[in-house]
Amino acid sequence: MKIAVLGTGYVGLSTGVCLSEIGHNVTCIDINKEKIKHLRQGILPIYEPGLEALLASNITAGRLRFTTDRKELKDKEIIIIAVGTPQREDGEADLSYIEQAAKDISGYIAESSIIVIKSTVPVGTNEYIKKTIEKECGFSIQIISNPEFLRQGSAIHDTMNADRIIIGYENKAAAMKLQEMYRPLNLPILLTSIRSAEMIKYASNAFLATKISFINAMANICEAVGANIEDVAQGMGKDKRIGEAFLKPGIGYGGSCFPKDVEVLHHTASLYGINSSLLKETIEINESQKDLLVKKALIRFGKLKGKKITMLGLAFKPDTDDMREAPSINIARSLTSLGAEVVAYDPAAMINAKGILGDKILFANSVDEAVWNADALFIVTEWQEFQQLNLPTVLKKMKHPIIFDGRNCFKEDRIKACETIEYYSIGRPDMIVGIA
């Protein structure tokens, strides 16, 4: 099939690359000339494991092309819109990019092409975009809501092995055409109304975010009563009705989806006069979770002025360079406002972090450099590199062998194997080894 994908962010690129990989003829279109120039050379604007290799092989195979020229839309059977919908200050989704994309394509699309919206948009937006395009182009079009559930860091795997494909439609023939596009993936497909499809995306993300806030709330109770959240989560997760996924406690969820989508859904509910205090609580627990490591450090040290704190990890999660809504931002700002000297290291997100945190903190080139002479070490992102650290070697380089682990990277036996260590984690008993 001849497919166009508008927008070359995470979702657009992963979708375009995967659809070409399964044999379609894909043209990715973006207004950013520089980005398109790089993509043509096989250079990615984002860090995403596995994506670069697939990009290169599909460009070479002639199935994947990049352009800024909207005239290329003319002969496309399916046009997928995957532009960003960031959050506005007032909590609503910023639809300006998708509105612009709708207007931009109107002069170039054929009557037979199907418009597929992959961008996460509030309920009702697909209908609004359909009207916007029809007003501009003068004929009626077919629109499909086809939300995406891929995670950064495993975008290719998640696209190729999605748990389900949601097709929200009003025209049966259009829905069948999209089913045909996805057929090579052999995945479960759910056909719904357009509004239900839009809602599925928000409800799924809100549920997962709530699951995280729930386990974080339980972790805080575990700390108070002397239980261990890892055992508790494992015990809960064995119940198939609960499930093991997304029960990992920590310093809160970040990224480009959960924070924004929960806020937008909460906002939508309030627009309709619906009580959504559950979502508000999810957000509030997440916010307070971000302060946890600093609170624990304040209890331990009394004050943080003049203390050298090392932060390992800046990205909102491992295997990405994305800093959007990363808990590390709050932590770095709190620490510096309390007068601490902060040195940070992240395997991928340092350039993006510098753009946000600027000269507020220092950036080291390695773990070794970052931990040298530190009063305490904060583990902020659970990169493999950090999980596999040789703890005794790291601790020897520090001024004090104190770790505040926001991601529960180390099991009890690894802490016990250290000569001297003070180890504070999330929802587990504090561990003090070798200190009288």
* Binding positions for ligand UDX, rule: CB under 6 A: 148-152, 205, 208, 212, 246-248, 250, 253-255, 257-258, 316-317
Q: How far apart are CA 44 and CA 333, in angstroms?
A: 30
Task: Report whether 189 contacts 135 (CB < 8 A).
Answer: no
Q: Supply the DSSP symbol for 186.
A: -
Nearest approach, Cβ of residue 303 and ligand UDX (Å): 29
Q: Is 257 a catalytic residue?
A: yes
Residues in the chain: 436
Nearest approach, Cβ of residue 65 and ligand UDX (Å): 26
Nearer to ligand UDX (CB atom), residue 9 or residue 42? 9
Nearer to ligand UDX (CB atom), residue 29 or residue 315? 315
Consult the annotation and say whether 184 binds a ligand: no
Nearest approach, Cβ of residue 427 and ligand UDX (Å): 12
194-225 helix and 258-271 helix, angle to the nearest 10 degrees: 110
The label of the residue with tokens 């770790």 reads 403
Consult the annotation and say whether 131 binds a ligand: no
Three-class secondary structure of residue 194 per DSSP: helix
138-141, long-range: CB < 8 A, 24+ apart: 139/111, 141/109, 141/111, 141/113, 141/114, 141/115
Cα separations (Å) of 86 from 89, 115, 269, 363?
10, 21, 18, 28
Nearest approach, Cβ of residue 258 and ligand UDX (Å): 5
Nearest approach, Cβ of residue 318 and ligand UDX (Å): 8
Q: How far apart are CA 35 and CA 17, in angstroms?
A: 15
* C-beta neighbour count of 401 within 10 angstroms: 23
Q: How far apart are CA 14 and CA 109, in angstroms?
A: 23
Out of 18, 28, 222, 257, the active site residue is 257
Nearer to ligand UDX (CB atom), residue 130 or residue 248? 248
Consult the annotation and say whether 35 binds a ligand: yes
Task: Report whether 99 contacts 132 (CB < 8 A).
Answer: yes
Nearer to ligand UDX (CB atom), residue 81 or residue 174? 81
Three-class secondary structure of residue 316 per DSSP: coil
Consult the annotation and say whether 416 binds a ligand: no
Consult the annotation and say whether 84 binds a ligand: no
Q: Where are the beta strands (DSSP E) in 35-132?
A: 64-67, 78-81, 114-117
Consult the annotation and say whether 249 binds a ligand: yes
Consult the annotation and say whether 247 binds a ligand: yes
Q: What residue numbers does the annotated binding site for substrate cover?
A: 201, 246-250, 254, 317
Q: Which residues does the annotation place in the binding site for NAD(+)? A: 30, 35, 85, 120, 260, 324
Catalytic residues: 257
- Enumerate the known binding-site residues: 30, 35, 85, 120, 201, 246-250, 254, 260, 317, 324
